[in-house]
Chain A
Amino acid sequence: MSALTLVGHQLRYDQKAFWRNPAAVFFTVMFPVVVFLILAVVFDGSTVNVDGGIEATTYYVPAIMALSVISATMQTLAMTLVIAREDGRLKRGRGTPLPAWVFIAGRIGNSIVVTVLMLALLAAIGGVLYSVPFPWERLPEMLVTLAIGAACFCCLGIALTAAIPSQDAAAAIVNALLLPLYFLSGIFIPEDELPGGVIDFANHFPVRPFFEAFFQSYVPGTGPAIAWHELLVVGIWGVAGLLLAIRFFRWTPRSG
């Protein structure tokens, strides 16, 4: 079996397990959709005062898409890998001929499949219910932005597993990190409502620069199609995550 076929094999089973896992499906699929619908219903008709004023719904489509990317990559990887590690499933897999990188590639592939589905789903909901246009003319730039962000948050998710001691701690630690960043980065509360300085603070972390870059590629007229400066910050976080993951990722259970 070639390495790519093997990645495909692993991915197929990871997909089955993902869609049968109610917690993963809730956090990664249901939660973003529900949050988008709530925000859209509450703020429909109002205007967000950025870049000369845009519809709130137009603001929230890329905002919740950014959240979905992070949820499908960082959150899903951190939680499912810690659970598999503490179950002894990672260790068991290491006892088979399956190369370690194939296993990880399968999991990342799973995150990418879910990311793409979520973007399609949110784009469809935004387009059909609130006439938010999809940026076909900037699709390549949007995909580059997406790829850099997804890669970064995959690395951060894998690195984060090293800081999570047990299955029970996984959801708490992941949410304790991400939820405040979502609020501080203008994802739930539009940035024009946030006090000055909050965005400056959030710009040091990866969520805000990724959201900003993704937003600009998604909503024409708000900035360059590819926001290289923001993507650089995202990339630095990604490389840091990659190095930490290589150094500290473990296959054997930490507890029990």
Chain B
Amino acid sequence: MPEPVISISGLRMSYGEVEAVRGIDLEVMPGEIFAFLGPNGAGKTTTVEILEGYRKRSGGEVTVLGEDPQRAGRAWRERIGIVLQSGRLDPYLTVRESLGLYAGYYRAPRPIDEVIGLVGLEEKAETRASKLSGGQQRRLDVGMALIGDPELLFLDEPTTGFDPSARRQAWDVIAGLRDLGKTVFLTTHYMDEAQRLADRVTIIAGGEIVARGTPEDLGEREAQATTIRYRSGGREVALQTATPVRTLHELTGEALARGEELEGLEVTRPTLEDVYLELTEPPADGPISGDIGPKSAHRPEVSE
């Protein structure tokens, strides 16, 4: 068994009367992309700042790369890379200069050109940070965190406020970190981000962990039903089933027998988003399952 890169037990953090983190436990293993997911104010940033050594905790045990971040020194900082939630870069330095500045801080930095390639900024190497788009700036930010060739990277909400294309670019860069063998601790409040990038997801709400597992597990766990949608005779039909293979077989069998094409046939599993909302939000008035939106004229329920 490899040693965990991050190990937290019973972590607590209070600001005066307010308990932001109420006794959480988690472990992050080498080489994995670990998503720490939760709504704003759930305690994500507090936790990640404790792991990064920025904040002193109120209680519990924390080990990051074998050391307590509260007491760790320069040698430990050589081994981690940090991308802050809302950092701006020096507007007057170019991409290459920003990386050069940070490269000088480390004993054994990665070659600058290699990092420029890793974050896909070859075309912008001589461009000042102030002239980069938001997505490019964030990629440079990730590059600056990578320049020391760290074992562990912290990415705090790396795509918050991005347009879809910038998010996709940032995701490609983060997914590429896996190939470098880096361990990544990613905080996010976007479910799709966790689903797309993470090996394991832990969901925090109100300072407590409410769920953990692989993105698939989490989807599975709460999977009340798979939804099958199609149009038949001009009506939209949505079926919920726990045994999608069987239901689909029956459905398509009947349709074939009738010689009918099931228009717009679509099988969807509940997204992690649905699971996430269920876990982190107070229960809604009505049941969420079965609702296919205001367009639906017909809502059959198939129960097994």
Q: Which residues of A contact B54 (CB under 8 A)?
A: 91, 94-95, 252
Q: Are the CB atoms of A13 and B93 closer together than 8 Å?
A: yes
Task: Please list 17 pairs of residues, one from A and one from B, whose beta carbons are closer than 8 Å in the complex, sorted by A's number.
Answer: A1-B104, A1-B107, A9-B104, A10-B101, A13-B100, A17-B92, A89-B89, A89-B90, A92-B82, A95-B52, A95-B84, A96-B77, A96-B82, A96-B105, A97-B74, A97-B105, A98-B105
A256 within 8 A of B: yes
A133 near B: Cβ within 8 Å? no
Evaluate whether A17 and B90 lie within 8 angstroms (CB atoms) in the complex, with A91-B54, A96-B148, A97-B148 already known. Answer: yes
List of B residues within 8 angstroms of A10 by Cβ: 101, 104
Residues of B within 8 A of A (CB): 52-54, 74-75, 77-78, 80, 82, 84, 86-90, 92-93, 97, 100-102, 104-107, 128, 144, 148
User: With A and B bound together, what is the CA distance between A220 and B98 in angstroms?
Assistant: 47
Closest to B93 in A: A17
Contact of A125 with B by CB under 8 A: no
Of A1, A9, A17, A252, most buried by chain B (CB within 10 Å of CB) is A17
Query: Is A99 in the interface zone, CB < 8 Å from B?
Result: yes
Which of B82, B89, B90 is in CB contact (< 8 Å) with A95? B82
**A88-B77 in contact (CB<8A):** no
Most B CB contacts (10 A, CB to CB) among A89, A96, A252 go to: A96
Q: A88 touching B105 by the CB < 8 A rule? A: no
Chain A interface: which size bin?
Answer: 20 to 34
Looking at chain B's contact residues, is the secondary structure mostly helix, strand, loop, or mixed? loop
- State whether the Cβ of A21 lies closer than 8 Å to any Cβ in chain B: yes
| A20 sits at the interface (CB 8 A) | yes
Check if A88 sits within 8 Å of B148, measured CB to CB. no
Q: Mark A54-77, 1 if CB is under 8 A from B, else 0.
A: 000000000000000000000000
Q: Least Cβ distance of A185 to chain B in Å?
A: 32
Contacts of A252 in B (CB 8 A): 54
Q: Whole-angstrom distance between the alpha carbons of A95 and B101 in the complex?
A: 14
Query: How far is B101's CA from A10's CA once the two chains are assembled, in angstroms?
Result: 7
A16 on interface, CB distance cutoff 8 Å: yes
Q: How far is the CA of A1 from the CA of B75 in the complex (A)?
A: 13
In the complex, which residue of chain B has the Cβ closest to the Cβ of A102?
B105
Q: Which of A84, A92, A95, A96 contacts B106 (CB 8 A)?
A: A96
Give A88 to B82 CA distance when docked, in angstroms: 12
A43 → B minimal CB distance (Å): 37
A6 at interface (Cβ–Cβ under 8 A)?
Answer: yes
A87 within 8 A of B: yes
Cα of A10 to Cα of B105 in the assembled complex, Å: 9
Nearest CB in chain A: distance from B241 CB, A: 48
Complex contacts, B97 vs chain A, CB 8 Å? 13, 16
Q: Which of A1, A9, A84, A97 has the most CB of B within 10 A?
A: A97
A89 contacts B87, C-beta separation under 8 Å: yes
How far does the alpha carbon of A94 sit from the alpha carbon of B92 in the complex, in Å? Answer: 20
User: With a CB–CB cut-off of 8 A, which chain B residues contact A89?
Assistant: 87-90
Docked Cα-Cα span, A10 to B93, in Å, equals: 13
Contact B77 A97 (CB under 8 A): yes
- With A and B bound together, what is the CA distance between A197 and B60 in angstroms? 62
Chain B proximity of A24: nearest CB distance (Å): 9
Chain A's closest residue to B88 (CB) is A87
State the CA gap A17–B94 with chains docked (Å).
Answer: 10
> What's the minimum C-beta distance from B75 to chain A, rounded to whole angstroms?
8
Interface pair B92/A20, CB less than 8 Å apart: yes
Residue of B at shortest CB range from A18?
A: B92
Smallest Cβ distance from B211 to chain A, in angstroms?
A: 29
Whether A13 and B101, one on each chain, are in contact in the complex, defined by CB atoms closer than 8 angstroms, is yes
Neighbouring A residues of B86 by C-beta, 8 Å: 88, 256
Q: Which residues of A contact B128 (CB under 8 A)?
A: 20
A16 contacts across to B, CB distance below 8 A:
92-93, 97
Residues on B with C-beta less than 8 A from A98 are: 105
Check A97/B93 contact, CB under 8 A, given A1-B104, A13-B101, A88-B86.
Answer: no
B101 to chain A, nearest CB (A): 4
When C-beta atoms are compared, the residue in chain A nearest to B53 turns out to be A95
- Chain A residues with CB below 8 A from B52, complex form: 95
| Nearest opposing residue in chain B for A251, CB measure | B54
Contacts A16-B92, A17-B93, A96-B77 known; 13 new A-B pairs at CB < 8 A:
A9-B101, A10-B104, A16-B97, A20-B128, A87-B87, A88-B86, A88-B88, A92-B87, A95-B53, A96-B82, A96-B105, A97-B78, A97-B105
| B277 CB, min distance to chain A CBs, angstroms | 27
Q: Are A91 and B105 in contact (CB under 8 A)?
A: no
